[in-house]
Amino acid sequence: MQSARFSRYAWMAVGPLALFLVWYAVHLAGLVTPKLLPSPVRTLQSVWTHTVSGGLGPDFGRTLWRTLQAFGIAAAFGVPIGIVIGASEKLYRSIEFLIDFFRSTPATAMFPLFMIIFGLGDFSKIAVAAFAAWLVVLFNVAYGVMNARQTRILAAKVMGASRARIFKDVMFYECLPQTFVGLRTAVSLALVVIVVAEMFIGSDDGLGKRIIDSQITFDLPQLYGTILVSGILGYGLNLIFLGLEKWLVHWSGRA
């Protein structure tokens, strides 16, 4: 068992290590000009120095905080409204098109509009991200409610559960797996929109701002490093949500 687990982790390390080595080899062989592709060691050094000098940490924190705010708004409005919409087939049908339409509209296309409405401050960035994430939550929750197992609802009914009890005791849990799919997608989407917003809606801080600054000053180690850190943030958020899901929705996919 021990060695099986070890070999699992060992295999998981193969891909990243290989990428690192290929990157290094390409750099050493001079296949790409070092101006465009700094060595991975230089890149990691840049991440280290910017972390130590104190700039990167706060930027990371700002982006994370904005993402969480956007996500919080999306979840707070998406879950209850999604339940209401999913519970009524007529209501869902009547706004299905709108949800699909705005879900398919690139959130970035909304930037100017949100800037006009909410100004240039932080809130307009958070609002765009929240809007995009909200639609994802809404859609998934409604879908989960609509696809609740009828047998379970009937079982509760036959045991004498009131409509309110059925909602609280059955519907809520029935749509939880799909809700988590929505929340996980939403947090990733919120991060994407926030980073883009930090780049293009004037911002004083955040990973997006740092990336744009590195591009302008042609500081490629910092550019690569910040991309790497953004990736770590996105991956970490996803991992946390997967863990939460596994813990809170333990029956997902098994029943």
Given the rule CB under 8 A, which residues bind other proteins? 149-155, 157-161, 165, 169-170, 173, 176, 250-251, 254-255
Measuring CA to CA, which residue among 60, 83, 45, 29 is closest to residue 210?
A: 60
What does the alpha-carbon distance between residue 158 and residue 154 come to, in Å, rounded to a whole number? 6
Positions of E strands within the chain:
none
Q: How far is the CB of 139 from other proteins (least distance, A)?
A: 22
Q: How far is the CB of 153 from other proteins (least distance, A)?
A: 8
Measured from the CB atom, the residue of 246 and 250 that comes closer to other proteins is 250
Q: How far is the CB of 151 from other proteins (least distance, A)?
A: 4
Measured from the CB atom, the residue of 105 and 162 that comes closer to other proteins is 162
Measured from the CB atom, the residue of 83 and 201 that comes closer to other proteins is 83
Q: Which residue has the tokens 């009547």?
A: 94
Measured from the CB atom, the residue of 104 and 151 that comes closer to other proteins is 151
**H helices present in 88-149, as ranges:** 89-104, 111-118, 122-146
Measured from the CB atom, the residue of 18 and 154 that comes closer to other proteins is 154
* Residue partners of 51: CB distance under 8 A and separation at least 6: 57
Q: How far is the CB of 140 from other proteins (least distance, A)?
A: 18
Q: How far is the CB of 254 from other proteins (least distance, A)?
A: 4
The continuous run of DSSP H or E covering 22 comes out as helix 2-29
Residue type, 107: A
Quick check: 73 and 126 in contact, CB under 8 A?
yes
Quick check: 193 and 70 in contact, CB under 8 A?
yes
Q: How far is the CB of 86 from other proteins (least distance, A)?
A: 15
Q: For residue 170, what is the DSSP state?
A: I
Tokens at 34, concatenated? 């070092």
Measured from the CB atom, the residue of 103 and 157 that comes closer to other proteins is 157
